[in-house]
Amino acid sequence: MNSRMQKLIRQFDDDGYIVIKLDNAKALIDEVNSDVERLIQSGEYKTNSKIYSYNSSPRIVESWKYSEAAKKLAFNQQIIEFLSEYFRAVPLPFSTINFLRSTEQPLHSDYIHFGTIPHFRLAAAWIALEDIDPSSGPLQIVPGSHKKPAMCFSDLGLKSAVSLGDVKRNYTMYEEFVREDVEKSGLLVESPQLYCGDVIIWSANLLHGSPNCLDNRLSRRSQVTHYHFSETEVFYNPSFSNIRNQHYVKRNVEFISI
């Protein structure tokens, strides 16, 4: 392992994220943007659940099924190399989401959506597909927040969801808890300046979001890919599970293949 990789791994341990510049990625990024634009024009695309939507800008999920370029971006060699070194396992991409504008989503952890046994076998890579305007609702992260223990809705006095209405109610209360907890903890909220081809890779439990958007008319084109890892025993849905009671409702995971 070279010294640069060692430095990145230390930073990932300490802060819960790293930012790197993808090499020779412009042509592929242009292709992703073109493919996404065609999807938008066709109207034949899948969006995420309205439970996790905060404005009218669609989040295109599973773009990898329609765009070879989006799939190639999910398997970017630099991203895969870092994740392989850090987790000492094979990264398994399973979700792509393409954004046109800011989500305006409050701070949250990906681990509240995608649980694993062993815990925290999850990471994400968020790639800027254009220079990100600071007024467009850029990504915010909370360095060090990944060191907090895995959150369970029961920790907030909530019962595991049995309906989508329960999921929405519980998640709204979770978002409010996170907001108050960050304020009380004294942790800093940062917004790295990201340019086209920059990628921020974060760990499973790092708090992130984009709650502050000055001008939601501005584009903020980006693609995030989520990764699980080999040698993971269980994939579970935290909304319907209770990890304190070791009750896990399993998720069916469709991994992306080249």
Q: What is the per-residue pLDDT across 173-193, written as a single tens digit (0 to 9) for each? A: 999 999 999 999 989 999 999
pTM exceeds 0.75 for this model: yes
Q: What is the per-residue pLDDT across 118-167, written as a single tens digit (0 to 9) for each? A: 999 999 999 999 999 999 999 999 999 999 999 999 999 999 999 999 99
Q: Which residue has the tokens 């340019």?
A: 195
Stretch 8-20: mean pLDDT: 97
Asked whether residue 248 is assigned to any structural domain, the reply reads no
Range of the domain at 172: 3-240
Asked whether residue 249 is assigned to any structural domain, the reply reads no
Asked whether residue 42 is assigned to any structural domain, the reply reads yes
Find the angle CA(198)-CA(97)-CA(188) to the nearest 5 degrees: 55
Asked whether residue 246 is assigned to any structural domain, the reply reads no
The span from the CA of 62 to the CA of 74, in Å, is: 11
The span from the CA of 219 to the CA of 99, in Å, is: 9
Lookup: tokens for 216: 């939601």
Is residue 1 scored above 80 in pLDDT?
no
Instruction: Return all residues near 56 (Cβ < 8 A) that are at least 6 apart.
Output: none
Asked whether residue 68 is assigned to any structural domain, the reply reads yes
**DSSP string of 135-174?**
TS---EE-TTGGGSPPP-GGGGT-PPPSSHHHHHHHHHHH
Domain total of the chain: 1
Asked whether residue 196 is assigned to any structural domain, the reply reads yes
pLDDT of residue 143: 97
Q: What is the CB-side half-sphere exposure of residue 178 using CA atoms within 13 A?
A: 30
Asked whether residue 255 is assigned to any structural domain, the reply reads no
- How far does the chain reach from its first CA to its final CA, in angstroms? 26
Asked whether residue 258 is assigned to any structural domain, the reply reads no
Q: What is the per-residue pLDDT across 35-76, written as a single tens digit (0 to 9) for each? A: 999 999 998 888 888 889 899 899 999 999 999 999 999 999
CATH number at residue 45: 2.60.120.620
